Structure 1
Amino acid sequence: MNVIAHPRFKPIDKGNDKHSTAGQEPAVAAAPGAGAIRVRGLEKRFGDNQVLRGLDLDIPAGQFVAVIGKSGCGKSTLLRILMGLDAPSAGSVAFGTASGEAAPNARIVFQEPRLLPWLTVADNVAIGLGEGVPKARGRTAAAQVLSEVQLAKKAGEWPAQLSGGQRQRVALARALVSKPGILALDEPLGALDALTRISMQELLNRVWRELGFTAVLVTHDVSEAVHLADRVIVLEEGRIAMDLAVPHPHPRRHGNPALAELEGKLLAAILGH
């Protein structure tokens, strides 16, 4: 399900920051509620297994960051901690917003759509608004965001009537309906076929540019990371092995030689070449 970031995380103290974010500005204008993220000395252990090792990371409001690396490097663990689904063993995570508020609205999209089969598409989307929202308001908000993900005509259908790509678009709409300041994406396109995946990449890129939220994507697909993100982080054994800016305008064309060169650098970092 989509979740709100856990309130235990303190707000960013802008007056005491020794870490520069030079060259890391987002490629699009951040929305007023877009969340900035600051991670300091983050560690995570599961018994004797240390997954994250003293990780420091700054993500400006409105930036699209992709996190890649080999299986077991700590990508999903980092994302879960950012979303409050796991607690860190040590270190801190802090949030701020472009408008100065301390607690951005955060949502997460998983690889599985996790739709409720007994609810219509519109009602599945309206769940993202939380409890206590009048039904009429929920339907209006759901209709608007379903239009943004090109599923307006499917509002009254059941999840079982949709294709895999359509179900994932509904999951994205459910995350977007509350106008998140941070959108976390944990391999959301991994189960889709190649053509549907490219279509979903284009959709995700478009809604990010239009809505101006901060996006953090975990993916195994280096091409996907370079196509979508302002910046790509390579994790290796719980540490940042590479932090690479992608200084190309959006939207980006698949097959761009400059992007292919960046993919090569990232693959070399992942594979240790």
Structure 2
Amino acid sequence: MLTADRLHFAYPGATGEYRFSFTANKGAVTAISGASGSGKSTLLDLLAGFLRPQSGSLTLDGEDLLALPPERRPVSLLLQSDNLFDHLSAADNVALGLPKRTAKAEGRSMVGAVLDQVGLSANVDQVASTLSGGQKQRVALARTLLRDRPVLLLDEPFSALDDETRHAIRALVLELTRRQGWHTVLVSHHADDVAALAERRYLLAGGTLEEAG
């Protein structure tokens, strides 16, 4: 279980502050909703280690995650921006998510498989700068899924997708979350995404999280 207990954070010089407490179960999606500017990205940055709280705890199955720097946390983060290298192909962008020391042939196979899962098997060699917004989002998601970390953080991961693709990719995320035993935390404004995926739901308002029904 991923557990945040009274994580307290305030930006220097700012008047507002945040207090986060929630749990996310293994093999399930936990959704975080809230208005723009309510602190959803701040929460993800705390979980990923890019920000440090002033107090509180963050554990994964009892392991203290706050003691770990971002690069050592068992966390994969998909940002709202696709964060691709425009001069690289879809396959080369995805390959950046491969574990270190992956054999070349094995890496090609893994990259091809995950691109096929997100419906981009025909775009393997296409340069990222020529992809559509929805295709870029799927490449970024494929790279994140390939990392296969116990904690998966998704920040509006389906926003650029058409309805048909959105439903297919949502189903893929849910299937992999269950099969791989990930603790998936989804930030989304879309009620249908939350309803389709989330086992547990939280609303972020006034700097605090409250569990929704």
Q: Name structure 2 gaps, 5 residues minimum.
A: 63-67
Give the equivalent residue in structure 2 for 1:159.
Answer: 128
Q: Point out the structure with max Rg over C-alpha.
A: 1
Give the equivalent residue in structure 2 for 1:88.
Answer: 53
Q: Which amino acid aligns with 2:6?
A: G
Distance in 2 (alpha carbons) for counterparts of 1:132 and 1:212: 24
Report the number of matched residues. 204
SS of aligned partner of 1:85 = coil
Q: Name structure 1 gaps, 5 residues minimum.
A: 1-35, 245-273
Distance in 1 (alpha carbons) for counterparts of 2:175 and 2:184: 12
After superposition, what is the alpha-carbon deviation per residue over 1:91-138, rounded to whole angstroms, capped at 9, x for unaligned? 1111128xxxx9873101112211112221111111012554443332
Give the equivalent residue in structure 1 for 2:81.
Answer: 112
1:48 to 14, 24, 27: 14
Shift of 1:78: 0.9
Q: Are the structure 2 counterparts of residues 63 and 49 from structure 1 closer, same or farther at C-alpha, using a change threshold of 3 Å?
A: farther
Q: Are the structure 2 counterparts of residues 83 and 136 from structure 1 closer, same or farther at C-alpha, using a change threshold of 3 Å?
A: same
Matches within 5 A, 1:190-205: 190-194=159-163, 196-205=165-174
Report whether the alignment pairs 1:189 with 2:158: yes
Q: Which amino acid aligns with 1:238?
A: G
TM-score by length of 1: 0.67
SS of aligned partner of 1:129 = coil
Give the equivalent residue in structure 2 for 1:207.
Answer: 176
Matches within 5 A, 1:248-259: none
Distance in 2 (alpha carbons) for counterparts of 1:120 and 1:91: 42
Shift of 1:69: 1.3
Matches within 5 A, 1:234-249: 234-244=203-213
Distance in 2 (alpha carbons) for counterparts of 1:43 and 1:72: 17
Distance in 1 (alpha carbons) for counterparts of 2:163 and 2:122: 24
2:149 to 155, 159, 180: 180
Q: Which amino acid aligns with 1:51?
A: E
Distance in 2 (alpha carbons) for counterparts of 1:44 and 1:113: 26
SS of aligned partner of 1:93 = strand
After superposition, what is the alpha-carbon deviation per residue over 1:197-232, rounded to whole angstroms, capped at 9, x for unaligned? 444333433433443322101111222211211111
How large is the RMSD of aligned CA atoms in angstroms? Answer: 2.4
- Retained in 2: the 8 A contact 1:68–1:235? yes
Distance in 1 (alpha carbons) for counterparts of 2:124 and 2:59: 37
Give the equivalent residue in structure 1 for 2:93.
Answer: 124
Shift of 1:241: 2.8
